């Protein structure tokens, strides 16, 4: 399959990961953010659950009124009835011995990931410093979880045994973010610093990473900044284009 983008050790494929994965060779780390199956399970796939004041970017509206945005729980049809078993089988094949698999997920799919055939290590939590509010008498979802598994051998972990299994960072800014360093390009986009920290901990320089659900390319951008090779797969061409544009920007100093 011809890559959509291929430059300086970073490759993007536009297509369904179930079709692309069988064509790939071994990788050292799979770090990805697949669908969570939360849209339909919430029972509110087409329902607005609240309104919040937009973050002020350039001042008040000309008429002095405030701007609000709607909050919805649905992320689209791609988040309905996701079955991770097919891509998990390919992950097990592609990972080198000692390689790590890290996937963000929801409580609805934990049992599916525990059947992957890989060795389960632990859950990693992203604690959000600015989570979205909940308007329905429920807990505010202030954390997201990622499952960490390995494939035999001696796995890479570049921190000590006192490292907690959580990372605290804010969510990515809103869609209109001209005055911020990182702009949201995808509805479930993870912070660059979050993906970068996981890459630093679980891989070494010049290792090859794989993200089968690439979205807007955050994992690949973090890999580039840290001197790793990376492969991303994305089914929607508009996100392939966004990722390619992000990768074309100057490498940031990821200290």
Tell me whether residue 50 is in a domain.
Answer: no
* Cα–Cα distances in angstroms (integers) from residue 75 to residues 29, 37, 168, in the given order: 26, 9, 24
Which pLDDT belongs to residue 39?
56
- DSSP letter string over 178-246? TTSSS---STTPPPHHHHHHHHHHH--TT-EEEESS-TTSHHHHHHHHTT-EEEEEES-HHHHHHHHHH
pLDDT at residue 54, rounded to an integer: 44
Asked if residue 119 lies in contact with residue 105, where contact means CB atoms within 8 angstroms, the answer is no
CA separation for the pair 96, 57 (Å, rounded)? 46
Residue 71 belongs to a domain? no
What pLDDT does residue 175 have?
59
Cβ contact 71:18 at 8 Å: no
**pLDDT given for residue 191 in this prediction:** 96
Q: How many other C-beta atoms are found inside a 10 Å radius of the C-beta of residue 41?
A: 16
pLDDT of residue 242: 96
CATH at 176: 3.40.50.150
Give residue 176's pLDDT: 54
Structural domain span for residue 206: 5-43+79-247
Block mean pLDDT (10 aa), the chain, length 255: 96 97 98 83 45 43 49 49 90 97 95 96 97 85 97 96 97 64 86 98 98 97 97 97 90 47
Give the integer Cα–Cα distance in Å for 23 and 2. Answer: 11
Count of domains for the chain: 1
| Distances 191 to 88, 98, 185, 217, 252 between C-alpha atoms, Å | 24, 26, 11, 11, 14
pTM metric for this prediction: 0.83
The predicted pLDDT at position 173 comes to 75
> Is position 11 within any domain?
yes
């Amino acid at each position: 399959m011809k890559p959509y983008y291929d430059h300086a050790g970073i490759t993007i494929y536009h297509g369904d990961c179930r079709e692309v994965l069988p064509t790939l060779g071994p990788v050292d780390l799979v770090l990805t953010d697949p669908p969570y199956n939360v849209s339909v399970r919430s029972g509110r796939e087409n329902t607005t659950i609240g309104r919040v004041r937009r973050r002020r970017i350039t001042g008040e509206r000309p008429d002095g009124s405030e701007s609000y945005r709607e909050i919805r729980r649905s992320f689209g049809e791609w988040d309905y009835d996701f079955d991770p078993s097919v891509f998990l089988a390919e992950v097990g094949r592609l990972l080198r011995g000692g390689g790590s698999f890290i996937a963000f997920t929801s409580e609805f799919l934990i049992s599916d990931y525990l059947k992957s055939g890989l060795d389960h290590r632990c859950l990693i939590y992203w604690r959000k410093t600015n989570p979205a509010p909940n308007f329905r008498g429920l807990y505010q979802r202030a954390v997201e979880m990622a499952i960490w598994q390995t494939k035999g051998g001696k796995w890479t972990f570049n921190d000590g045994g006192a490292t907690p299994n959580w990372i605290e960072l804010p969510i990515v800014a809103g869609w209109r973010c001209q005055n911020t360093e990182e702009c949201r390009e995808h509805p479930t986009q993870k912070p660059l610093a979050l993906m970068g920290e996981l890459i630093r901990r679980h891989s070494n320089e010049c290792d090859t990473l794989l993200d089968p659900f690439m979205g807007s390319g955050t994992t690949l951008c973090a890999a580039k900044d840290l001197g790793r090779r990376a492969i991303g797969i994305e089914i929607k061409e508009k996100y392939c284009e966004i990722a390619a544009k992000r990768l074309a920007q100057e490498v940031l100093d990821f200290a």
